[in-house]
Amino acid sequence: MNSIQTVERRIGLGLHYLIYLKQRVVNDRLAVNAGYMAYITLLSLVPLTTVVVTALSKFPVFEGISNQVQEFIFSNFVPAAGDAMKDALNSFISNTAKMTAIGGVFVFITAMLLISTIDKNLNFIWRVKRKRRLVYSFSMYWMVLTLGPLFIGSSLALTSYITSTQFLSSEVLNLVYRLLPMLLSASAFFGLYLLVPNIKVRIFHALGGALVAGLLFELSKKGFAFYITAFPSYQLIYGALAAIPILFVWVYLCWFIVLIGAEVTASLGERELWHEDEPFQVLQVLHSKFAKKDDKL
């Protein structure tokens, strides 16, 4: 009987948490915020990619790896339409070489705008009203723009080195290549939820949100790729411009997943708001609602 009560208690507690999480998502208007962040991302995509490629080119050890970075990102993180988007993005980036110094400053500021938007939205989810000092915020954004490309380049360079030395068997290498995108995305989510909020976040809470976001991201990649290939309505309607709405929808979905993971992380840190002494109250509320519906029928 005790084991049954324990199971019922955990089920009730889980339902209580899901109800609280759903209410939190609705109150924070995640769909609207994800659309705003997708719009800012599209404006910042070319400047941010330009900064990444430029940062990698400054280090001789990463010479020639920028194309490999782009290939890895578009093949693993942009489903179905990666080739068309990569060609369009490369043509945009090639045009930035003709810019003046003022244009270069504008490119950098636009890239910083995206990071600032991420910072504000995540701190809004954590209900953080205290703002960071301007110097601290600028140094953090600068670190992301400089160390982020180095982290990606180092990971790919290490993978290429291991492959060239044939230190591991082909089966293990195939497993590494399959797991590397998921590990990188989960690591990015973990760092995002742990470091960006201007409040102390527990490691296990950030890890829980990162795992949820990483799982949703992998499932979304497969589902989105299947939809694009099985139902090519965008190609039929937009023709050669189909990559643009496809990219916007995918970026919107990605940001929605990022914000969902942030909500999970933040809600895990608010245990006192959803963990009551009697979680069976949730079951009673649900039972009463269904009972009222039955009476109406």
Most confident of 31-35, 186-190, 273-277: 31-35
Residue 267 binned pLDDT confidence (cut-offs 50, 70, 90): very high
When divided into structural domains, the chain yields a total of 1
Closest CA to 49 of 72, 75, 79, 69: 69
In a domain, 161, yes or no: yes
Q: Is the pLDDT of residue 174 over 80?
A: no
In a domain, 216, yes or no: yes
In a domain, 293, yes or no: no
Q: Report whether 16 contacts 276 (CB < 8 A).
A: yes
In a domain, 292, yes or no: no
What pTM value is reported for the model? 0.78
Distance, in Å, from the CA atom of 78 to the CA atom of 240, rounded to the nearest integer, reads: 18
Residue 240 binned pLDDT confidence (cut-offs 50, 70, 90): low
pLDDT of residue 297: 47
In a domain, 296, yes or no: no
Residues of the domain holding 275:
2-287
In a domain, 228, yes or no: yes
Q: Which helix (H) or strand (E) holds 17?
A: helix 2-27
CA 155, 185, 183, 220 dihedral sign is negative
Q: For tokens 């009673």, what's the residue?
A: 284
Report percent pLDDT > 70 for the chain.
60
Q: Is the pLDDT of residue 101 over 90?
A: no
In a domain, 297, yes or no: no
pLDDT of residue 279: 46
Q: Is the pLDDT of residue 226 over 80?
A: yes
Q: Tell me the per-residue pLDDT of 34-86, one tens digit each, with 9 for 90 and over.
A: 999 988 888 877 677 766 666 666 666 555 556 666 666 666 666 655 566 66
Q: What is the mean pLDDT of the chain?
A: 75
Q: Please report, to the nearest 10 degrees, the dihedral formed by the alpha carbons of residues 278, 283, 286, 287 taken in order.
A: -120
Q: Which residues contact 146 (CB under 8 A, 6 or more apart)?
A: 55
